[in-house]
Amino acid sequence: MYDFVVVGAGPAGSRFSRRASERGYDVLTLEKGEVGKPLACSGHVSTDIWEFTPDGAREELLQNEVYGARFHVGGPGSDDYQFYKREVVSNVIDRVGLDKLLAEAAEDAGADLRENHSVTAVEEYRDRVEVTASTPEGTETFEAKMVAGCDGPVSRVRSELDLPEPGEKLQGVLAFSEEDDPGDYVDVHLTAPRFFAWRIPRGDSGVEYGLAAPPGSDPSANDLFEEFTDEYDVETTHFCAGMIPIGPADRVTSRRAFLIGDAAAQTKPFTGGGILYGMTAASHAAKVVDPERPATLQDYEEAWREDLSREIQLGHWIRKCYSLPEEVQKVGLSAFSGEIGVHMDKPTSFFSTEHLKKLLSGS
């Protein structure tokens, strides 16, 4: 019997697998396909990403450095409001490569990683869990003391155990052009209903275009994306789509199961990104959850919420600004544009001494 079965080998799952293995636990990680595929997430991340990766990851994965963002209330060609720093704000990385590197680090730490294992059932008992997976060879069932659901926004673990759904799910789409663009700025367009569209330069790896919108919006997210790229007059390939969970439920644990990452909606409400939040929560889980003591799952609930809940709450307030009337958006963007002291993963940094000084100085 394993200590943990981890369902999903994305950043959150691999982070937990690695850290739990390093603590001496027997970990089995199941990935439904090949690690990193299909791509369904942007590769625009804060520079904090390197705190979670093995040595040498930056040199292998980095595609571009970003110093700021241009916000547009309209489409391409509309007036922009620039927010920037004098040092690197964020990095653009090889997103598939990140998943593979993190999964390899988990294996190196002792985790047993099995690809092409699609979980079909999770049964929870007083003293164990049973996880059944479909494989190319047939069906396998594994026993463990606990199961970690790190299987994304449409989590099978969450549904099998009747854990609460995220507050909301958005439909995200992205694709890539072959433009050679080493630009320093990302472009953010507040044109999609209740969210935004983006353009991210990836150096000689092309440009990423993306958009998210509520499911069932009219026009649909796909139609909005087509209009967006047509306005930029570019052809894109490698089209990807996926759900973005927003708003964690009041409970992400059960008797012997817990959710991490997108499965738990541990994401930024104002961008939809969840790589850093998910890996942060995974680190908390590996530190406090004892598979012999189900009561420690409450320690996980408390630890990750204490660390992230304020950032998530402030992120919801930032997102509300996306739906303000255009004239109000323009006034707000004009007032706050310029040099910033804000961290892209931490809305609380908006109230930091550094940022407030910049606002007061008008620089």
* pLDDT reported for residue 166: 97
* pLDDT reported for residue 299: 98
- pLDDT tens track of the chain, all 363 residues? 999 999 999 999 999 999 999 999 999 999 999 999 888 788 999 999 999 999 999 999 999 999 999 999 998 988 899 988 889 999 999 999 999 999 999 999 999 999 999 999 999 999 999 999 999 999 999 999 999 999 999 999 999 999 999 999 999 999 999 998 889 999 999 999 889 999 999 999 999 999 999 998 889 999 999 999 999 999 999 899 999 999 999 999 999 999 999 999 999 999 999 999 999 999 999 999 999 999 999 999 999 999 999 999 999 999 999 999 999 999 989 888 888 877 888 888 776 666 555 555 554
Residues 24, 20: Cα–Cα separation, whole Å:
7
Scan for tokens 């983006």, then name that residue. 198
Homologous superfamily (CATH) for 1-38+95-166+248-323: FAD/NAD(P)-binding domain (3.50.50.60)
11-22 and 275-288 helices, crossing angle to 10°:
30
Domain boundaries for CATH 3.30.9 within the chain: 44-93+168-246+326-363
Neighbours of 125 (CB within 10 A): 10
Domain boundaries for CATH 3.50.50.60 within the chain: 1-38+95-166+248-323
Residues 15, 53: Cα–Cα separation, whole Å:
9
- All residues at 6 or more sequence positions from 28 whose CB lies less than 8 Å from its CB, including other chains: 2, 4, 5, 6, 111, 112, 114, 142, 144
Q: CA dist 108 to 14, 17, 101, 103, 267, Å?
A: 11, 10, 10, 9, 27
Residues 131, 247: Cα–Cα separation, whole Å:
27
* pLDDT reported for residue 342: 79
What distance lies between CA 70 and its chain's CA centroid?
Answer: 22
* Cα distance from N-terminal residue to C-terminal residue, the chain: 59
Question: Are 304 and 38 within 8 A, CB to CB?
Answer: no
Nearest CA to 196 out of 180, 181, 214 is that of: 214
* pLDDT reported for residue 350: 73
* pLDDT reported for residue 298: 98
CATH of 44-93+168-246+326-363, one of 3.30.9, 3.40.50, 1.25.10, 1.10.357: 3.30.9
- What are residue 139's phi and psi, to 5 degrees? -120, 140
Count of H-run helices and E-run strands, the chain? 9, 18
* pLDDT reported for residue 356: 55
Residues 359, 340: Cα–Cα separation, whole Å:
8
DSSP state of 351: G
> 297: exposed, middle or buried (C-beta count within 10 Å: 0-12, 13-18, 19+)?
buried
* pLDDT reported for residue 245: 97
Residues 283, 15: Cα–Cα separation, whole Å:
7
- Element (H or E) spanning 7, and its range? strand 2-7
